[in-house]
Amino acid sequence: MNTEHPVSSAPPLPDGLWIVIAAYNEQQRIGAVLDDLLPVVKNIVVVDDGSRDDTGGEVRKRPVWLARHAVNLGQGAALQTGLAFALERGAETIITFDADGQHCTADLPVLVDRLTAADADFALGSRFLGTAQGIPWSRKLMLRMAVLFTRVFSGVALTDAHNGLRAMTRRGAQQVHLTMNRMEHASEIIDQIARSGLKYVEVPVTIRYSADSLAKGQKTSAALRLGIKLLLEKVIK
C-alpha cells in the first residue's frame, strides 16, 4: 500500500506511541490501513463510530484495540474517544490517523522526530508543505479557505488547517477536549492548541486522494455549513 515511502527505512517508533483512528463504514479500507501500521506501531485504537457495515469485524481480526460508539456521532467525537482511551492506557505520544488510507505510515517517524526536535507538544501535518497526490482543485480551494478562516477567527497561521494527521504529546493531548462532534473538530482543535499556549510545528506530509476517499471525505458543499456552525459556536461561547 505504501509504495512511495518504504516503511523499512523508517526509524523505530517509541513504545509509548498510540495511533488513534476514527472509522465509520470503513470495512473495505480499514484492514489495509491497519496491516500497513502494525509492523511499525504496537498500540492502535480504532474507534468504530457506529458503522453500519462490518468495520468492527475487520478490526477485531487484528491485534489492535476497538472501541465502539453505539450510535454514529461524528469524526470529532470518535477522535476524542480515541484520545481519552489512549491517555487512559498511558500513552506518551498520540498520532491521529485517517481510516481511509489517505495517510502514509512513513510520515509517522517524521512527525515524532519533529515533535522531539522542536520540543513541541503538537506536530501538525501539512499537505501543502508536503504532497497532496490527486487533490482536485475544488478540494484545494476549500482547504485554502479553511486556512484563511483559521487565520482570521483563530489567529493561527497554518498552511493546512484541516489535516487529520497530527502528533501530540501526552501533555498536548490532555489539553484537547473536542466538543464539536463532526468535521468542525478540525478547526476546534486548532483553537484549543492556540489557547493552550503549547508549542506546535507544521510538518510536511503526504496525502493520497483516491476516488473512494474523495467520495467519503468532507464535501466541498459542506464547507459553508461548517463555517456557519463554527461562527455560531463562537457567538454562543
Near other proteins by CB under 8 A: residue from 27, 31, 42, 210: 42
Q: With residue 123 as reference, give the H or E element that holds it.
A: strand 122-133
Pairing assessment for the beta strands 65-68 and 43-48 based on DSSP bridges: parallel
Binding residue count for other proteins, defined by CB under 8 A = 35
Near other proteins by CB under 8 A: residue from 2, 80, 93, 218: 80
Task: Please name the residue that has the C-alpha cell 478547526.
Answer: 187
Q: Is 47 a binder of other proteins (CB under 8 A)?
A: yes
Q: Give every CB contact of residue 197 below 8 A, 6+ residues apart in sequence.
A: none
Near other proteins by CB under 8 A: residue from 64, 95, 147, 203: 64
Smallest distance, other proteins to C-beta of residue 117, A: 24
Q: Is 104 a binder of other proteins (CB under 8 A)?
A: no
Near other proteins by CB under 8 A: residue from 1, 35, 39, 89: 89
Q: Is 209 a binder of other proteins (CB under 8 A)?
A: no
Residues 122 and 166: beta-carbon distance below 8 Å = yes
What's phi and psi for 80, nearest 5 deg? Answer: -65, -40
Residues 114 and 123: beta-carbon distance below 8 Å = yes
Q: Which residues would be at the binding site for other proteins (CB under 8 A)?
A: 15-16, 42-43, 45, 47, 59-71, 73, 77, 80-81, 84-85, 88-91, 179, 181, 232-233, 235-236
